[in-house]
Each structure stands twice: as structure tokens, then as C-alpha cells.
Amino acid sequence: MEKSILITGATGGIGRAVAYLLASKGYSLYLHYNQNEQAMKTLLKELEPFGKDYLPIRCDLGKKGDYKNIINSIFSIDGIVHTSGISHYGLFTDIQDEMVESLWDIHVSSIMYISRDLLPKMLSKQEGNIIVISSIWGQIGASMEVAYSTVKGAQIAFVKALSKELAFNGIRVNGIAPGAVDTNMMASFTQEEKTSIQGEIPMGRMARPEEIAESVLFLLSEKSSYMTGQILSLNGGWSV
């Protein structure tokens, strides 16, 4: 039976890898993006050979109420993969109110609102999946990334709490906490800083977006049918 999945942040490094892998496995997709229309056009072109339905949905998850563009565009849904995110690096004492609000809105509020409003469609089927891409910093925290660590920790709490509420209804809620991933989110780091980070990772390298996508596919599949409320730590041994 064909299944439909919403991917938020589908033009980002992880979101794009997830979209490509799921499309290759026969899923129909709702593809959320914010501003990068060219990236979405390129993604749709890449997915075209797989021959399913791929609906792009544009909205700004940092703008109050804009998430409703997603809700109003979705008819049937079997799963949600929350990959949207922004980063912030700097001293906690220097962070501006606007950045705190943006981090919270994109990483926490939008996930709660979108999941809440789409859950009735999954509850009517008595099955579904919600997957949240969190971060290693949500588990152990990071200096110079206090606000980012905070919202990523909130995502993990959301996964654990909601999984208990929905388990009896056949809906599973899980998360993935990657370490350093080789995406544009690392663009603000110098090559020297990237090399230093890789030196701290026992496996000696960053994760590839495709590796995160494979874990998403696993969590959506029947292979993980007895798994809910769990956070998969994909960090190359950075935190054990």
C-alpha cells in the first residue's frame, strides 16, 4: 500500500537525502521548504524518475501561523519526518531575543503544531510514524551552542512524552540525534575547525546525510515495529 510522508526542511542536507531515499522506495512525499525555490525545483527533477506524487509546500516555520500552509495542503498522511532547523553559534550572553524565538519556533513550536494538527489523520488509521531529527547537543549540551542545545533537548523530551501518549493507537514516535553531519549547516565552521571536530570523533569523520536517511527509512519501516520513544544516536562514537 502506497504511503505518504511529510518531510519538513526537504531542501536541507538531511531533508534532501531523506526525500531521495524515500522516493526511491516508493513513498509519495509532501516536501516542505522555505525560500530556496531553485533547490526545490532541482529536488523535484531528481525525484521525477521514481514516478510517485511529490507536492512542494512553501512556508516559513519561524513565522507565526505559517505552518498552517502545510496542514491545509495535506490530505492523507502516514508519517512525518521533522528535519527543519537553523543553528546558532556564540556566547549565551550575546544571543538576541529574536534568535531565541526563531530557534524555539522552528525546532519546537512548529513540530508540536504540525504533529498535533496532522495526528487526527493518523489516528483515524490507527497507525503512523513521527520522526524528529534532533542532535547530539540535545543529549549532552554544547558550550557556545546553549540555545541550540536547549531546543534540541526539548525535541527529545517531545519524542519521549508523545510516544507514550500514542503507543496504544499504533503511532510510533522516535528521534535521531546525529553528531556532526557533512551539510551546509557546517558552512560557518572553518576547515581547521572541521578538522578539529573530526579529530574528536572516534570514527574520524562526519556523518553523511545519506546515513541519517537510512535510519529514517528504518524507523518508518516494519523492521522497527516495536520501537517507540527512542533516540538513535548517530555520532560515530563521539558520545558513548
Catalytic residue annotation: 148
**3-state DSSP of the chain:** CCCEEEEECCCCHHHHHHHHHHHHCCCEEEEEECCCHHHHHHHHHHHHHHCCCEEEEECCCCCCCCCHHHHCCCCCCCEEEECCCCCCCCCHHHCCHHHHHHHHHHHHHHHHHHHHHHHHHHHCCCCEEEEEECCHHHHHCCCCCHHHHHHHHHHHHHHHHHHHHHHHHCEEEEEEEECCECCHHHCCCCHHHHHHHHHHCCCCCCECHHHHHHHHHHHHCHHHCCCCCCEEEECCCCCC
Q: Report the distance separating Cα 157 and Cα 151, nearest Å.
A: 10
Give the cell for residue 94.
550575546
Can you give the C-alpha Rg of the chain in angstroms?
A: 17
Matching residue, cell 500500500: 1
Burial of 190 (0-12, 13-18, 19+ CB in 10 A): exposed
